[in-house]
Structure 1
């Protein structure tokens, strides 16, 4: 028979020891431990549980049905998050591990157990123990069913304890998930920063103007995503982004990316205090990045200076207006309308505008002015 996990008891407070004792009594009864064996085994289980609470800060005891020397046995895995067990406590004459326990100490538990393995260090302790009854019960699926049924009956007698255990298991699962998500976001942020650095490095080594231009545009796009990701993780609400701070960074990234050559253009950002849904904020940041890129590429032909303005007004409930303008050459009357351009940047602008049911207006009579009005966000 393979190891059959039966139940887990969280060890945080003294009341958990009572639950641990009840589970141990129930399972030793199913495995037909004799009275003396049951007392010794339950005492050993309680000793390990108390140690985990007192010295391990927080622990967990997992019971299972296992096989030892061809016999069914009670398996117990106790883990905690403490600083480890001092070597003196593992010595044959070491002190009891629990000041409020039965005085067994770890060596006492080891003498009772049929198997007793300790793995301890600064990250915590893991004790894997097994207890054998004198009765030679054969391992079988029926025995597992009996143990499961007995535990169900125990939970029915004390539904509050069972519900409390389930709630704590759920809370631990949520905490574990949140920890994994934090690690995922951390790695994503590092990867985005690395990509931006690689783009800049490649741009500095590129010899063709066209290649440098493509890499510059890519730097602005990825830089916008990287800043949005950073703001999401830094904010109190991971689903919200400070739009003003994000647009300031988009402007700085664009100025840095397009610096050099004979053009000196500055970017002014004016944005109401807005906390937006992360996707909405990222989309606005991408649009602004593309419009700034277009201004650097086309607005200041034949000039050595220029000014680009980014203005955002309104709020999510009433609607938001985005205005990106420049004091450049504007749009000649016979020129092709830029909003119908098939370039990647304009396709992105049109797609993101359409996704938010926004309206786009372009005026090229006095410099270039592009306004996007986003409807109220539901």
Structure 2
């Protein structure tokens, strides 16, 4: 019979030791441990649990039903995140263990367990133990069903403890997911930053003005994405982005990308601290990056200085309003409406605006003013 996992107990606080003891008592009863054997085994299980809490920072005890020479046995895997157990505390012939030292009671557990394996190091400790009663029951699937039934009855007696355990398992799962997402954003951000660097190198070597212009626009777009992933990696919630910090970086990246020519344009950003879900924030960053790019390209023809303002007001529950304006030449009366332009930049702006059910208006009487109003979000 293959080992069958039965249940896991999280080890963080003293109350968890009582839960560990109850589970051990329940399973040793099902496996027909004698009274003295049950006391010794439960004591050993509790000792390993206490050590994981006191010395391992945080731990987990996983019970399973396994077999030794065809007889059913109780398997226990205890893992923690501590600094490891000193080697002298693992030696059966070593000096007595200090009452406050690392590895308290391990030699006693070694004498009780049928099998006892320890894997320890600076990253934590993993103890795999097996306890076999003298009058072992033959290994069978029916015994697994009995053990699971007994654990179900135990949970019914103390639903609060069972619910607390489930909540902690869920919290750990969320934390693991966030950690993986942060690592994903870190790697993605690094790759995008490398692409930005390659774009800049290519732009510095480009001889045609049109090529330099295309690479500059691409640098702004990819740079906005790179910053978004950096913020998601640094944030406490991998799915949220600080819009103000992101837009500041979009502005700096745009100024850097378009610097070096005859035009000097400053970008002013006004945006309160605003946490948005990552896709929404990235889309806003892309829209504003495109509008800034357009201002650099068309607003200041024949001039050597200019000013671009980015203003964000509102919040997700009330709706968010964007205003990107410049003090440039504006739109002549007979000019093509920019929001109907077939350029890649304006197509992106229209598409992203439409995806979020936002409204877009353009005023070109005094410089160019682009208003985008996003509806309230739940």
Query: What TM-score, normalized to structure 2?
Result: 0.86
Q: Distance in 1 between matches of 2:114 and 2:4?
A: 18
In the alignment, structure 1 residue 358 sits paired with structure 2 residue 359 = yes
Verify the 8 A CA contact 1:6 1:65 in the aligned structure 2: yes
Residues 131-168 of structure 1, C-alpha deviation per residue, up to 9 Å, x if partnerless? 11223422221110011111122222333332332232
The SS at the match of 1:67 is strand
Q: Secondary structure at the match of 1:297?
A: helix
Report the number of matched residues: 372
CA distance in 2, matches of 1:321, 1:45: 61
Tell me whether 1:168 sits opposite 2:168 in the alignment. Answer: yes
Contact in 1 for aligned 2:30/2:146 (Cα 8 Å): yes
User: How far apart are residue 208 of structure 1 and its match?
Assistant: 4.1
- The one-character-per-residue Cα deviations of 1:78-133 (angstroms, maximum 9, x if unpaired) are 111111111111122335668399x9832232222221110001111100011112
What CA RMSD, in Å, does the superposition of the two structures yield over aligned residues?
Answer: 3.0
Paired with 1:341 and 1:164, the residues of 2 have a C-alpha distance of: 58
Partners of 2:151 and 2:357 lie apart in 1 by 54
Q: 1:18 to 1:334 in 2, by over 3 A?
A: closer
1:24-35 map, 5 Å: 24-35=24-35
Paired with 1:234 and 1:117, the residues of 2 have a C-alpha distance of 39
1:1-378 correspondence runs (5 A)? 1-94=1-94, 99=99, 105-232=105-232, 241-261=241-261, 263-273=262-272, 275=274, 277-278=276-277, 279-301=279-301, 303=302, 305-312=304-311, 314-316=313-315, 317=318, 320-328=321-329, 330-354=330-354, 355-363=356-364, 368-374=367-373, 376-378=375-377
1:296 CA drift (Å): 2.8
How big is the shift at 1:184? Answer: 2.7
Residue deviations 1:214-248 (CA, integer Å, cap 9, x gap): 22111101212233444455567766655454333
Instruction: Answer yes or no: is the 8 Å Cα contact 1:242–1:274 preserved in 2.
Output: yes
Q: How much has 1:362 moved relative to structure 2? A: 4.1
Confirm or deny: 8 A CA contact 2:251 2:269 kept in the other structure. Answer: no
Check the 8 A contact 1:81/1:125 in 2, yes or no.
Answer: yes
| Deviation for aligned residue 1:267 | 2.2
CA pair 110-155 structure 1, distance change in 2 beyond 3 A: same
Q: Equivalents in 2 of 1:282, 1:174: separation in Å?
A: 23
Q: Would the aligned equivalents of 2:291 and 2:324 in 1 still touch at CA under 8 Å?
A: no
Contact 1:96 1:104 in 2 (8 A): no
Assess if the C-alpha contact under 8 Å between 2:182 and 2:238 holds in 1.
Answer: no
Q: 1:288 to 1:11 in 2, by over 3 A?
A: closer
Q: Is the 8 A contact 1:61 1:79 kept in 2?
A: yes
Looking at structure 2, the residues matched to 89 and 236 of structure 1 have their Cα atoms a distance apart, in angstroms, of 39
Q: Is the 1:28–1:38 Cα contact (8 Å) retained in structure 2?
A: yes
Paired residue secondary structure (1:179): helix
Kept after mapping to 2: 8 A contact 1:283/1:352: yes
Residues of 2 paired with 1:106 and 1:319: CA distance?
Answer: 60
Q: Secondary structure at the match of 2:260?
A: coil
Please give the alpha-carbon distance, in whole angstroms, between the structure 2 residues aligned to 1:243 and 1:17.
45
Post-superposition offset of 1:254:
1.6
Q: 1:210 to 1:236 in 2, by over 3 A?
A: same
